[in-house]
Amino acid sequence: MPRIRDKETVRAILETDRSWAVYALGDLAPGFFERCEWFSPADGSPAILLVYRAFETPVLFALGEPGAVRPLLDEVSAEPAFYLSIRPEILPLVKARYQVERERAMWRMVLDPARFRPSEAPGVVRLGPADLQALRTLYADGETTGEAPDFFFPEMLANGIFFGLREGDSLILAAGTHIVVLAEGICAMGNVYTRRDRRGRGLAGRATAAVAAEALRMGVRTVALNVAQSNAVAIRVYEQVGFMRYCAFYEGLARKQ
């Protein structure tokens, strides 16, 4: 199977399922694309496999029908482990080759601009690099319970969209992004967290709506986020803002058997 290096060819395949491929489209940006390996069938089928090597354990993403993706997995079968971002129909193909740990059922949710409910968000303010320590302190509140955002890096605060609400000098909630790439018209939201002693007041929706509103103002066409299917409270908050469930997928750690 050919490894693809032409960005336009990759983009054309990803655009066949833009809402599912939000993160992969973001990886076309400079600084990300250089860390990617792309594989696609030689017959031109609209399928693609991405190995994203920004971390010690690479991320595996797949788009396409199982019959087209199966031979692509053979191209990367020597890899000892992957973090997974795959649709349910691809999971059995991975399990035939790897032992999957920490398997988690997720929803990809996508903002419907027609359903978007902007909030006046009293007290919610834009966050920037100067707020890094306050944000880290907020996220640390969830470390003992395993609720802290597990995919936050300081450059996300510098290059993305973050909003939060303060009480005194402390942040009590925040919402932000994993990646924003205006050239591709995508925004992947995440890093949403409300301090445990301030929950149940409807606060999370304020910051989430503020991030979404700013992304739309900037001209982003596709605003998406991931949420665990078991997190009914968060799903309800996102639906109230205007997000809709687009597709199910799985996260997990695949280790060579």
- Report pLDDT digits (tens) over 111-151: 999 999 787 777 899 999 999 999 999 999 988 888 888 88
Amino acid in position 211: V
pLDDT confidence of residue 118: 80
Question: Is residue 43 predicted with pLDDT exceeding 90?
Answer: no
pTM recorded for the entire structure: 0.94
Among the listed residues 238, 153, 247, 152, the one whose alpha carbon sits nearest the alpha carbon of residue 191: 152
- Out of 76-80, 81-85, 122-126, the most confident range is 81-85
Q: Which residues contact 1 (CB under 8 A, 6 or more apart)?
A: 39, 40, 41, 42, 71, 72, 74, 75
Q: Is the pLDDT of residue 18 over 90?
A: yes
As to burial, measured by CB atoms within 10 angstroms (0-12 exposed, 13-18 middle, 19+ buried), residue 146 is exposed
